[in-house]
Amino acid sequence: MPSPNQATFFVENLLTWYEENGRHDLPWRADAATPFNVLVAELMLQQTSAGQVLNVYGDFVQKYPTPESILDTPQEELADDIESLGLRKRTRYFREASEQLVENYDSSVPDTRSELLELQGVGEYTATSVLAHAFEKDVAAVDTNVARILSRVFGLDYDDKPEASENWELAEELLPSGRSSDYIHALIDFGAEVCTASNPSCESCPLEGICEYRSEESS
């Protein structure tokens, strides 16, 4: 586990980078995004790039602002509206999750991990992302990008295992109280722009001073 100084260095430099370089214009990150908008975005983003989601998200949430609006639409029409995202099984996710929200939660998105995990299509990462981004809960979320960053910087052996408990425990340990949404978004953007899977930009990385991967590459 990192020392307190390493943890502080990591979080402060990551958040500073995010403030200057993050993708703040993504519509599902806007303050006006409702919890249902956030849930929709997180379901869309599963195995799909932000660029692809941008092509459909705006029109989708305008047409489907509530779970009821999804249930009132024929399944084939709903499938056509997300066709460009691939993975047509998400049509079922949207419909079944919307049905659960209407029947069990008075059409509102629940704000607990256990209840979110009951929703169709929602796994650990999606649940924690919704908690952080829609409800400002102090939780961390680990996907492939985040696992890669943590493993490289701190010398873990779980860069290709986002589900590994070691990654989640470290992400939680580093979590800055009250800034979970920024923290998660910063890690996602940093993994997409700097600490990429191939050809990472180590020379311009603000985490270079504590990164074990960079130290090994330089030796």
Active site residues: 42, 125, 143
The 10 Å Cβ neighbour count of residue 100 is 17
- Residue 34 falls in which region: left (phi positive, over 0), alpha (psi -120 to 50) or beta: beta
Give the contacts of 24 (CB within 8 A, at least 6 positions apart).
none
Evaluate whether 91 touches 78 at the Cβ level (below 8 Å).
yes
Give the contacts of 42 (CB within 8 A, at least 6 positions apart).
126, 129, 130, 133
